[in-house]
Structure 1
Amino acid sequence: MRSTFMGLETARRGMFAQQTALYVTGNNISNANTDGYSRQRVNLTQTLTYPGVGMNRPQTPGQLGTGVVASSIQRIRDEFVDSRYRGENNKLGYYSTKADTLSRMEEILNEPTEEGLAASLSEFWNSLQILGSSPNESGARESVLAQANALADTFNYMSTSLETIMEDLKLSTKANVDTINSIATQINEINRQISEVEPHGDLPNNLYDERDKLVDELSALVNIKVTKEKTGGNASILAEGVYKIEILGSSGNSLGVLVDKNSLTTGPTQVSTSADYKSIIFGSSTVALNDFSMGELKANMEALTDKYPAMIENLDNMAYTLVKEFNKIHSDGDDLNGDQGSPFFNDLTTATGAAKSISVAITDPTKIAAAADGTSEGNGDNAYSLAGVMTKNLTDFTTSTIGTTGNFQSFYAGVIASLGVQTKESNVLTNNTLTLLDSVNTQRQSVSSVSLDEEMTDMIKFQHAYNASARMITMIDETLDKIVNGLGVGGR
């Protein structure tokens, strides 16, 4: 026979369960603007029915419900959407960083403008053409020297500025590595805390959120794979466990484990770079940069070891070739005093560093060998030959390290065009990836973010359920009062 007081316990459980739901709703509303917060919900579960199965069970029309309990408080996340978000975030980190480094290079080269190298070359050649037609005019000779110095300064400035940015890229790369190691340490510590909480049956939702926020930050730096490892003990079936994070290679292969169960006591695997920044050291393994997957770290290292050195090398080869060919032709002519031409530019022994060190050797305008060898000082044929260096095929040069067909102008135009294509491609891919990331993030927020409208609706729903349970207690109390005080008084 069921107890007369059975309904009180059922109503009490209803009040407590709805009260818990109201508390969780209030917490969601409080964290509506908290970065990285995932909305939570109470999972309500029916309690055991009455009567249970047994030989001495009372005969009743059927099993009666005994109420409800708040079995767990679960955060709402979509693991598949999280994985997609991190993949797109990794691509965005790579393409945006690549676009930024190339844009900074474009700013230094400053083409096509009147301050660029192409303009300096053109003005230098034009001054030589004018000198060829007016070899005796001091103004024409001084103009050649001024334009030559301006050209050398432009080479110097570009090379030095590119090297300065390379030093900045080294600092950025070091910052990337330090951030990776710092995030890994934080995730490892959160993993440790989770492994201590979950075996007791609790769900540390705040730790889950904090860990996922760090994983999102890490995904922008390197390509990662996240898997879950159970903690054991009396852990809930909803427990997420310890994150195992692996860094992936260019073909999607695992390069090694950053954090997992084994690192809870030993600490995460440390990441560093080689001295030449051409490889990444991951624990005891060394991975070539080409075998590394996307992310900000790879983009910075590629710019540091490929894009910027290649541009500096192009400038060096141009400067070296210019000095050698120009000096040779200049030495074949005679200056205004009838003497054989001396080196116009200070000689260079190697192409390496030529752009940074190119300088004009002549300071006296009369020393410019504008005349052809053996002619009068009023002759300007050699000046025309010097001006022809710009349009002369590079394969016809006596000394050329550029190793291509065409002339100075076409070679440099090709270098600038290639840079422009790479920058445009990076910007397009950045915008495309950003669009995809925004789309995935919208899906993610639709699942995990707090909607104040929904929470207000839930609050009213739980409030009415709480009030109804309280009203049920009042009703049962009135019934019991009638039984206790109203029955058995007949005939008094």
Structure 2
Amino acid sequence: MSGLFGTFNIGKRGLFAQQRAIDVTSHNIGNANTEGYSRQRAILETTRPFGMPSMDSQIGPGQIGTGVDVSTIQRVRDGFMDYQVRREKSTLGQYQARDKYLSEIESIFNEPSENGISNLIGKFFQSWDELSKQAANSNARTVVAQQSAALANELNHTYSQLEKVKENAHDSIKQTVFEVNGILERLDKLNQQIMSVKVSGMEPNDLMDQRDLLLDQLSENFNIKVENDKFYSVNVTPGDVDGLGSDVNGLLVRKNPNDAVRRFSYVTGMEKIEGKTDLYKVTYLRNGDKDKPETITVKMTEEEHKRLDQTRVLWSQKDPNNEDKDGLIIDKNGGEITSGSTKEFKDLAIFALDNDEDRGCLKGYMSVQKDVDNYMDQLNKLAKSIALSVNTIHSGHTSAGVPTDPIDPSSADYMPFFVNKDKAKYENDKINNLGDVLTGEAEITAKNIAVNEEILKDVMKIKTRIHDDQFAYAKDNDIDGESDGKRALAISELKNTLMKIQDIDPKKMTREEFIKKCTGKDGLVDDVNSVKTIKSDINGMKTDNYFKDCVNKLGIQEQEARRVVKNQEVLLKSFQERRDSISGVSLDEEMANLVQFQHAYQANAKIISTVDELLDVVINGLKR
């Protein structure tokens, strides 16, 4: 109806609408510094007017308005900017993880420096060169023994430090898995709350801000795909569903509370089953929960074992309705793998993040472990090349051989210079299991390489003379003079020998295999000093150059990671500023709005006051 009472209602509606707009402005100002908050605005719309067409409507000048109302409180958000920010957060997270651990590896190698492996290799060969000039001098022999021990110890130390880097990366993956599962649980709850609020007819703006903030945090760990569904709900999956079959969903957050969703479990350990070459006892934590360990048996090769060791994350299922099944890992087809069962590696659903499009700190941790494994293998190749080449020239034997009784100098190397310290056992400063030591030589790595303690205790056992290869022990040589150092010279010249170190098997390789594969020869050749030695292979490289190549590669990888981090920080900051310019709260703008709504509120109050006076005239004035 029109008239004074209609005008009164218009003023009342205007008063309430401006009050609601002031409330929204106050909420914006109060959350100006709240992380993840998106500014809101009250959308004002005219209410239904009088004078709608009908059979009994009267002809008049036009429809009469009935005032204003707040139709909705709108959240200002740009979905495309969210996508860009999350994408760049994933890339930044990946390279920050790589930068963190690659810089740690750089510190471990400590190159170039006086105490680095490269300098110790130079001192090692230089000590042999000095010994060749003063073979009868015990001081020169002591220097060789100690420099060799220093090199072996540094290789041991560097390898153990790289193992610690892997352990730290494993801990980072474990913590990330735990955090990711926690974020997913909160996202699920928020998703259900948002739908219930929207179904009731209200706008869940603050809840959606909380959800978007969690999605931003989740994207730092791996790239995600967010699909909007009904009633403001979202479905969340990883950017690429690794490890699952094409018909198996990788849904992490769902609209329907009854839908199956996935979570992640962390592999804590892999222990080879005794007597079985390809069976491992694999222990994992349900949903990353340290209080819920489970074990299964997995059949896998060494390469598959390495792959699982580098990733450590398995897909699992979320089943809150069945506590016994909640958190069990699944196979590629989505079927549950119960505790104690036996599976082949190919059946496991591994969250490996192997694709080029995959990003996030989880991928960074996983890729760094591949790098660490690579550097450990390169250290093993370096240690093995030094040990096998020196032992070969030192003894003159291309085979470690098998010791005999009585002693036959041609049957074995009775005084190996480098040994596998995990195999060597000593009694009265002498090896008491020579056969095991010679067999274990093929398994020398950077972790276990050591100088024979017999030599460290008695440096006169070092073989330096031409005909020392014809005797089991140097003391038995009655052909050459004490000052003969040509064998020591041949060992020192290994520094300039080109060997295909890159082709060495880092795990197991005998002297015969080393000579044939890395030098292209079946045996040793005579040099100008009449000592049989290793011939250079044009496709090989020098020992110190091989290690320097490893260090150079590490430096390039770290530079790339650091460069990408800096570039991503600038790019991400730019995207965040653009998103904030849309969604962020501007105090100046809000204060201007506050003044505008205040004046409108006062004007509506004036209308009510005026109508009150007019009604007083009509009601009370007509009596006079």
User: What TM-score, normalized to structure 2?
Assistant: 0.72
Name the structure, 1 or 2, with higher relative contact order (CA <8 Å, separation 6+): 1
- Say if 2:502 is the partner of 1:387: no
Shift of the alpha carbon at 1:342?
2.1
Structure 1 residue aligned with 2:286: none
Q: Distance in 1 between matches of 2:414 and 2:237?
A: 66
TM-aligned CA distance change 1:484 to 1:289, over 3 Å: closer
Q: Distance in 2 between matches of 1:330 and 1:470?
A: 105
Q: Letter of the aligned partner of 2:128 in structure 1?
A: L
Structure 2 residue aligned with 1:375: 480
Q: Letter of the aligned partner of 1:369 in structure 2?
A: K
Structure 1 residue aligned with 2:424: none
Give 1:307's match in structure 2, choosing from 366, 371, 381: 371
- Say if 2:580 is the partner of 1:445: yes
Structure 1 residue aligned with 2:31: 31
Q: Letter of the aligned partner of 1:390 in structure 2?
A: K
- 1:247–1:255 contact (8 Å) kept in structure 2: no
Within-5 A mapping of 1:378-457: 378-395=483-500, 399=514, 405-457=540-592
Structure 2 residue aligned with 1:237: none
TM-aligned CA distance change 1:222 to 1:402, over 3 Å: farther
TM-aligned CA distance change 1:456 to 1:352, over 3 Å: farther
Shift of the alpha carbon at 1:185?
1.1
Give 2:363's match in structure 1, choosing from 298, 306, 309: 298
Within-5 A mapping of 1:44-443: 44-231=44-231, 241-249=232-240, 256-262=250-256, 264-265=257-258, 268-272=261-265, 276-277=308-309, 280-283=313-316, 284=330, 285=332, 286-287=349-350, 288-291=352-355, 293-304=358-369, 306-332=370-396, 342-347=415-420, 349=440, 354-361=445-452, 362-363=455-456, 364-373=458-467, 374-395=479-500, 399=514, 405-443=540-578
**RMSD of aligned Cα (Å):** 2.4
Shift of the alpha carbon at 1:353?
6.1
Q: Distance in 1 between matches of 2:145 and 2:4?
A: 112
Q: Deviations over 1:371-418 (max 9, x none)?
A: 322421112212211111221111498626779611101111111111
Q: Distance in 1 between matches of 2:388 and 2:443?
A: 14
Structure 1's unaligned 5+ residue stretches are 232-240, 334-338
Shift of the alpha carbon at 1:250?
8.6
Q: Letter of the aligned partner of 2:360 in structure 1?
A: G
Shift of the alpha carbon at 1:137?
2.5
TM-aligned CA distance change 1:326 to 1:144, over 3 Å: same
SS at match of 1:359: strand
Q: Letter of the aligned partner of 1:358 in structure 2?
A: I
SS at match of 1:192: helix
- 2:4–2:611 contact (8 Å) kept in structure 1: no
Shift of the alpha carbon at 1:351?
5.8
Q: Distance in 2 between matches of 1:28 and 1:453?
A: 12
Q: Distance in 2 between matches of 1:189 and 1:350?
A: 59
- 1:155–1:355 contact (8 Å) kept in structure 2: yes
Q: Distance in 2 between matches of 1:51 and 1:375?
A: 126
TM-aligned CA distance change 1:30 to 1:201, over 3 Å: same
- 1:219–1:295 contact (8 Å) kept in structure 2: yes
Shift of the alpha carbon at 1:139?
2.3
Shift of the alpha carbon at 1:24?
1.1
Structure 2's unaligned 5+ residue stretches are 268-281, 283-307, 317-329, 333-348, 398-408, 421-436, 468-478, 502-510, 520-538
Indicate the structure with greater helix content: 1
Q: Distance in 1 between matches of 2:240 and 2:105?
A: 28
TM-aligned CA distance change 1:395 to 1:12, over 3 Å: closer
Shift of the alpha carbon at 1:267?
6.2
Structure 2 residue aligned with 1:234: none
Q: Distance in 2 between matches of 1:132 and 1:381?
A: 6
SS at match of 1:48: coil
Segment drifting more, 282-291 vs 387-396: 282-291
Q: Letter of the aligned partner of 2:461 in structure 1?
A: K
Structure 2 residue aligned with 1:468: 603
SS at match of 1:50: coil
Q: Distance in 1 between matches of 2:488 and 2:371?
A: 36
Q: Deviations over 1:409-466 (max 9, x none)?
A: 1111111111111111122222222221111101111111111111111111111110
Q: Distance in 1 between matches of 2:249 and 2:262?
A: 11
TM-aligned CA distance change 1:395 to 1:316, over 3 Å: closer
Q: Distance in 2 between matches of 1:84 and 1:449?
A: 16
Shift of the alpha carbon at 1:255?
6.8
Structure 1 residue aligned with 2:400: none
Segment drifting more, 54-63 vs 436-445: 54-63
TM-aligned CA distance change 1:255 to 1:171, over 3 Å: farther
